[in-house]
Amino acid sequence: MACNHRPPCLLAFFFFAAIASAQLSSTFYSTSCPLAIQTIRQAVRAAVAKEARMGASLLRLHFHDCFVNATDVLDDHKQGCDGSVLLDDTPSFTGEKTAVPNNNSLRGFDVIDNIKSQVEAVCKQVVSCADILAVAARESVAALGGPPWTVQLGRRDATTASLDAANTEIPSPKSDLDDLISAYSKKGLSTTDMVALSGAHTIGQARCISFRDRIYNETSIDSSLATSRQSNCPSSGGGDDNLSPLDAVTCTLFDNFYFRNLVKKKGLLHSDQQLFGGGSTDSLVTTYSTNTARFFSDFAAAMVKMGNISPLTGTDGEVRLNCRKTN
């Protein structure tokens, strides 16, 4: 099921996050690979022009990468935004691609492979896959009309991945408000960050299995939305992978319609509507629903903050030649 709008042309702990952020720089590749950002931007724009949904897919890849802690560093603190989500399974570890939040859901790996090949052609083994994900997320949002932000660079790639972490640390579409607040807080992200980042659901689509319970069993949902989604998501007998837009009005335009929908009880996922249902985040949702500039500003700030969650830097990790496997 597609929306009608056509695309425009085209920190778990703040202390450690601050340390890691200080080692990153927006100009990290200015000398070592001056064409890196331009190359990534052009490849993302081409991919999104070919399929607008890819913008949401690349943004989601970065989010799932940042939320999963693949390796312990600095005692029991763990890094994110390390490219671990891209790794295939090996004899020594099971990757994150088959985790419940990712299996048959995450996509865009081939686009990242293509970007990596293009970047490698202009500078050999200089730009990490983790940084490619971070820049691709920004360029995807920009391609769909969203806000810009300054991406801090200099991340290195993880040499392992964690299926268990992916299964436990990525918020579920069935999460209640308290669960969402807690999950983001563990990453050093505030409630405002959580609500703003949830606004990424203004683009992209969701699988029937992630919203079936909501459209058949919940009462805090607009009846017309429930009925329309039931036509593509049977209560039983299959259809788990059938897709519906998270924002049926402008699902290929990055705007504030996600929040307008929540105010009308038209959030597709349970976790979406939890942001507006008599809880502590109602007022912020209302603000975003009427103030696009405020949403864009808070979203950009939260993306920067999330992207700086204790990344691997310096001599930790590696710069992969192939994003799907370690060197």
| pLDDT digits (tens), the chain, 327 positions | 556 554 444 333 333 343 344 489 999 999 999 999 999 999 999 999 999 999 999 999 999 999 987 554 433 444 589 999 999 999 999 999 999 999 999 999 999 999 999 999 999 999 999 999 999 999 999 999 999 999 999 999 999 999 999 999 999 999 999 999 999 999 999 999 999 999 999 999 999 999 999 999 999 999 999 999 999 999 998 999 999 999 989 999 999 999 999 999 999 999 999 999 999 999 999 999 999 999 999 999 999 999 987 677 777 899 999 999 999
For 10, which DSSP code? -
Show the beta-strand stretches assigned E in 145-274: 205-207, 243-245
Q: Could you give the residue numbers annotated as active site?
A: 64
Distance CA 120, CA 266 (A): 44
Q: What pLDDT, on the 0 to 100 scale, is given for residue 18? A: 39
Residue 77 is labelled as binding a ligand: no
The secondary structure of residue 73, as a DSSP letter, is E
Q: How far apart are CA 131 and CA 83, in angstroms?
A: 8
The response to whether 171 counts as a known ligand-binding position is yes
Q: What is the C-alpha separation between 108 and 101, in angstroms, rounded?
A: 15
CA 163 to each of CA 10, 66, 103: distance values in angstroms, whole numbers, following the listed order: 37, 14, 11
pTM for the model stands at: 0.91
Residue 262 corresponds to which amino acid?
Answer: L
**pLDDT tens column, 87-139:** 999 999 999 999 999 999 999 999 999 999 999 999 999 999 999 999 999 99
For 132-148, b/e burial (b = at least 16 CB within 10 A) is: bbbbbbbbbbbbbbbbe
* 250 labelled binding-site residue: yes
**Is 191 marked within a binding site?**
no
| Backbone φ, ψ for residue 25 (5° rounding) | -150, 140
Paired with 206 in beta bridges are 244
DSSP H helices, 207-325, are 208-217, 223-230, 257-263, 270-273, 282-290, 292-307
Task: Report yes or no: 187 and 12 within 8 Å, Cβ to Cβ.
Answer: yes
Please check if 150 is assigned to a binding site. Answer: no
Question: pLDDT digit string (tens) for 153-182?
Answer: 999 999 999 999 999 999 999 999 999 999
SS3 157: strand
Place of tokens 């864009």: 296
96: annotated binding-site residue? yes
Q: What are phi and psi of 316, to 5 degrees?
A: -75, 150
**Which pLDDT score is estimated for 74?**
37
**Nearest in space to 308 (alpha carbons), one of 58, 79, 121:** 79
Q: How far is CA 23 from the centre of its chain?
A: 23
84 is in an annotated binding site: yes
**Strand positions, DSSP E, the chain:** 72-73, 77-78, 205-207, 243-245
Q: How confident is the model at residue 240, as a pLDDT? A: 96
User: 138, 45 in Cβ contact below 8 A?
Assistant: no
In this structure, are residues 317 and 20 in contact, taking their beta carbons and an 8 Å threshold?
no
pLDDT, residue 2, reads 56
Q: What is the DSSP string of 293-316?
A: HHHHHHHHHHHHHHHTSS---TTS
Residue keyed to tokens 């405002």: 192
Query: Is 247 marked as binding a ligand?
Result: yes
